[in-house]
C-alpha cells in the first residue's frame, strides 16, 4: 500500500464510490459539497478549507473528482464552472505539491473539437464548450507539475456506472424504457468511447501502485460507438421490445445546446505504448453494468419491470 491517507474530492458523484472502493484498504477521506453518508463537506473552490482538511488528515494522495459536468449548466454558469473545474484543480495541485502528496485529476474526451475521428493523448486540444474549456485550462496548468511532482491526468470518455448517481446517456435511456417508452429517438451523429467507472477507478489504483510515470493519459474502454450504437447494444443485451429511431442531434438542439464535437473517440495511446492499458471493451463493461448495478436479466428488464 503506497498511500495511507487518500483525500477524494467530489466523492458523492458517479465515479466517487468506485474510486473510494478501489482504495478501500487505505484511509479514504471522502468529501463533497453534497450531503451524503460518510461524506465530509469540502468545497474545492475554497483553498483554505481544502488545505486545512488535507493537512489535518495528512493526505499523501489527493484524487480530484469534484466537477461540474452538466454541459448546459456549465454553459449557463461559466463563472461557477471555471471556479470548480479549473480553480479547484489549481487549489488541490498547489496543496498536493506543498505537502509532497500525489495528485490525480480527471479530464474529459470533450477537450477536442472533433476535427479527427480518433484522438490520442498527444493531439492538440480544441475545446468547444465552457465545460471543455474549463478542463483544458486545468490540464495546461497541471502539465507544469509533471516533471517534479507525482501528478496524473486521466481523460475519461462517455461515463457509465454508479446507477444511483448516473445521469448520463445509458441511465437516461434505461429510465425511459423502465417508464414504459416503446420508441426511442437516439442520435447517430455523435461518436465517442464509453468509459466504465469501475474499470476507470481500478485502473487509477493499479497505475499508482505500479508507479506509472506522471503525465496525461487517455483512459477509456476499448472500442468506440455512436449514441445509436450504444442504444442498439442495450436493446440486444436485454432483448428489449423497443423501436430505436436514428435521428440527428438537431432534434435535441433546444435541450442540449452546449456545443459538442462530432467525435470524442479516444485512443489510450500512451498507456498502450507502455503495455498498461487495463480498460476492457465497452460492450463487456456495459453488460456487466446492466446485470450488476441495474440487476437486469439477459431476458429483459427482470426485477426492474
For the stretch 32-86, pLDDT in tens is 998 877 899 999 999 999 999 999 999 999 999 999 999 999 999 999 999 999 9
Please say whether the beta carbons of 171 and 196 come within 8 A. no
Q: Which residues contact 128 (CB under 8 A, 6 or more apart)?
A: 110, 113, 114, 259, 260, 261
Whole-number Å distance between alpha carbons of 246 and 189: 9
Burial (Cβ within 10 Å: 0-12, 13-18, ≥19) of residue 162: buried
Compute the radius of gyration of the chain from its Cα atoms. Answer: 19
Q: What are the two backbone dihedrals, phi and then psi, of residue 154, each rounded to the nearest 5 degrees? A: -115, 125
Binned at pLDDT 50, 70 and 90, residue 292 comes out as confident
pLDDT confidence of residue 40:
95
Average pLDDT over residues 160-181: 87
Residue 260 has pLDDT above 50, yes or no: yes
> What is the β-pairing status of strands 191-192 and 225-226?
antiparallel
Average pLDDT over residues 270-274: 97
Residue 2 has pLDDT above 90, yes or no: no
Residue 304 has pLDDT above 50, yes or no: no
Binned at pLDDT 50, 70 and 90, residue 223 comes out as very high
Q: What are the two backbone dihedrals, phi and then psi, of residue 184, each rounded to the nearest 5 degrees? A: -125, 135
Residue 302 has pLDDT above 80, yes or no: no
Question: pTM of the full predicted structure?
Answer: 0.94
Binned at pLDDT 50, 70 and 90, residue 112 comes out as very high
> What is the β-pairing status of strands 118-119 and 194-196?
unpaired
Which pLDDT tens digit goes with each residue over 181-222? 999 999 999 999 999 999 999 999 999 999 999 999 999 999
Please say whether the beta carbons of 269 and 123 come within 8 A. no
Instruction: Give domain 5-165+193-224+265-279's CATH superfamily.
Output: NAD(P)-binding Rossmann-like Domain (3.40.50.720)
Tell me which H or E stretch contains 184: strand 183-187
Amino acid at each position: 500500500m503506497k498511500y495511507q491517507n487518500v483525500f477524494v474530492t467530489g466523492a458523492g458523484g458517479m465515479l466517487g464510490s468506485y474510486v473510494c472502493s478501489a482504495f478501500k484498504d487505505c484511509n479514504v477521506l471522502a468529501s463533497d459539497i453534497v450531503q451524503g453518508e460518510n461524506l465530509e463537506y469540502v468545497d474545492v473552490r475554497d483553498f483554505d478549507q481544502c488545505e486545512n482538511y488535507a493537512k489535518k488528515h495528512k493526505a499523501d494522495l489527493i484524487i480530484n473528482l469534484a466537477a461540474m459536468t452538466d454541459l448546459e449548466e456549465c454553459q449557463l454558469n461559466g463563472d461557477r464552472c471555471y471556479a470548480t473545474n479549473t480553480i479547484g484543480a489549481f487549489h488541490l495541485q498547489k496543496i498536493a505539491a506543498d505537502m509532497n502528496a500525489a495528485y490525480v485529476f480527471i479530464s474529459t474526451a470533450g477537450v477536442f473539437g472533433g476535427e479527427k475521428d480518433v484522438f490520442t493523448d498527444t493531439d492538440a486540444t480544441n475545446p468547444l464548450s465552457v465545460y471543455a474549456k474549463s478542463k483544458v485550462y486545468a490540464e495546461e496548468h497541471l502539465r507544469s507539475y509533471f516533471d517534479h511532482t507525482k501528478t496524473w491526468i486521466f481523460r475519461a470518455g462517455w461515463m457509465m456506472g454508479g446507477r444511483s448517481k448516473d445521469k448520463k446517456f445509458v441511465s437516461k435511456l434505461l429510465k425511459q424504457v423502465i417508464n414504459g417508452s416503446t420508441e426511442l429517438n437516439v442520435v447517430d451523429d455523435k461518436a465517442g468511447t464509453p468509459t466504465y467507472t469501475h474499470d476507470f477507478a481500478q485502473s487509477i489504483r493499479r497505475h499508482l501502485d505500479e508507479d506509472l510515470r506522471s503525465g496525461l493519459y487517455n483512459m477509456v474502454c476499448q472500442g468506440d460507438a455512436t449514441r445509436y450504437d450504444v442504444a442498439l447494444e442495450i436493446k440486444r443485451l436485454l432483448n428489449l421490445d423497443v423501436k430505436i429511431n436514428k435521428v440527428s442531434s438537431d432534434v435535441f438542439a433546444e435541450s442540449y445546446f452546449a456545443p459538442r464535437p462530432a467525435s470524442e473517440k479516444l485512443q489510450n495511446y500512451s498507456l498502450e505504448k507502455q503495455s498498461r492499458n487495463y480498460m476492457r471493451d465497452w460492450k463487456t463493461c456495459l453488460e456487466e453494468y446492466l446485470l450488476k448495478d441495474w440487476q437486469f436479466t439477459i431476458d429483459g428488464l427482470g426485477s426492474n419491470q
